[in-house]
Amino acid sequence: MKILIAGSNGMLGHDLQEVLKNKHELILTTSKTLDITDKNHTIDFILNNKPDIVINSAAYTNVDGCEENQDLAYSVNGQGPKNLAIACSELDIPLVHISTDYVFNGKNNRPWVEDDEIGPISVYGKSKLQGEINIRENLDKFFIIRTAWLYGINGGNFPKTMLELAKTHPEITVVTDEVGCPTYTLDLAKAIAELIESDYYGIYHITNSGSCSWFDFAEYIFEIANLDIKVIPVTASEFARPAPRPSYSVLENKKWLENEFKPLRNYKEAIKDYIKLIK
């Protein structure tokens, strides 16, 4: 297939390239060559290149930054996906779009399923939800993939921050009352590669299996990296940040499993591989 990737320089974009390049023809775009907020250019670019499918890995992902730069958040995360959806609709091709666990409010006592009520509590979550809505209103053939707590080789992320802090800090304070599903972008990219071979369109939750708090995740990272770091638990309210985060955003990969795709490996296996790679 001829696959156009928007935001191909990002953390997930990088691993999508790695996973897809041997089997597919890739049209790789960045914010410089394809600014998805520029409606006319986006539509012209896609119509001229005639891909078989578009994958949108572009987003404004700075969760705290979104609180201050709301216009930018809604433009990139809301309007951008709409422009891509309009172009895909013209060509009658599918759009794969990446969304987030932050569309949920975090108040649940079981993992969230795809059709649970959404209720984002941050500007980032609200802008990403707007992207989902815009796609659904403008296109039939879409895969909207909600994922969570991403880390990968090509970007800043929680495991890298922990390992960096560990160089200078024997004790590190980490939030204990936010629980989610750490997910390796390489594993997510492989899942996307499988999904696009199907026409099972719709909204999916796709994450590595298992779940933990940021505190548990930090402790596990130091354990497998053989680092003697004391992790000190704090609550989210003690660790003030501009954007609120959902306290419980574990995503059940219900539709993925119903469509007989294999569960992604446990996050504990995935992070082991990742740490071997970056250490």
Ligand X SMILES: NC(=O)c1ccc[n+]([C@@H]2O[C@H](COP(=O)([O-])OP(=O)(O)OC[C@H]3O[C@@H](n4cnc5c(N)ncnc54)[C@H](OP(=O)(O)O)[C@@H]3O)[C@@H](O)[C@H]2O)c1
Structure tokens of 182? Answer: 């750490």
Nearer to ligand X, 120 or 170 (CB): 120
Candidates 17, 37, 176, 213; binder of ligand X (CB under 6 A) is 37
9 near ligand X (CB under 6 A): yes
Pairing of strands 179-180, 212-213: antiparallel
Q: Which stretch binds ligand X (CB under 6 A): 2-10, 134-142, 165-173, 193-201?
A: 2-10
- 138/185 with CB nearer ligand X: 185
- Give yes or no for residue 178 binding ligand X (CB under 6 A): no
Taking the complex as a whole, the smallest distance from the CB of residue 16 to ligand X amounts, in Å, to: 9
- Cβ neighbors of 151 (< 8 A, separation 6 or more) are 11, 157, 158, 159, 160, 182, 183, 184, 185, 271, 274
Positions 51 through 110 that interact with ligand X (CB under 6 A): 57-61, 76, 80, 98, 100
Respond yes or no: is residue 201 known to be catalytic: no
The residue whose Cβ lies closest to ligand X is: 10
| CB of residue 228 to ligand X, shortest distance in Å | 27
Nearest CB to ligand X, comparing residues 77 and 138: 77
The window from 133-141, 149-157, 171-179, 257-265 that contacts ligand X (CB under 6 A) reads: 149-157
Tell me whether residue 17 or residue 171 sits nearer to ligand X (CB atom): 17
Enumerate residues 117-146 that contact ligand X by CB under 6 A.
128
Three-state SS for the chain is CEEEEECCCCHHHHHHHHHHCCCCEEEECCCCCCCCCCHHHHHHHHHHHCCCEEEECCCCCCHHHHHHCHHHHHHHHHHHHHHHHHHHHHHCCCEEEEEEHHHCCCCCCCCECCCCCCCCCCHHHHHHHHHHHHHHHHCCCEEEEEECCEECCCCCCHHHHHHHHCCCCCEEEEECCCEECCEEHHHHHHHHHHHCCCCCCEEEECCCECCEEHHHHHHHHHHHCCCCCEEEEECCCCCCCCCCCCCECCECCHHHHHCCCCCCCEHHHHHHHHHHHHC
When binding is defined by CB under 6 A, the residue of 18, 24, 31, 234 that contacts ligand X is: 31
- Asked if residue 188 lies in contact with residue 265, where contact means CB atoms within 8 angstroms, the answer is no
User: Of 124, 204, 267, 274, which residue is the catalytic one?
Assistant: 124
Q: Specify the residue, 39 or 254, whose C-beta has the smaller distance to ligand X.
A: 39
Which residue of 155, 210, 233, 263 would you call a contact of ligand X, by CB under 6 A?
A: 155
Closer to ligand X by CB, 37 or 208: give it: 37
Closest separation in Å from C-beta 37 to ligand X: 5
Query: Where in the sequence numbering do the catalytic residues fall?
Result: 124
- Chain positions contacting ligand X, by CB under 6 A: 6-7, 9-13, 30-31, 34-37, 57-61, 76, 80, 98, 100, 128, 147-150, 155
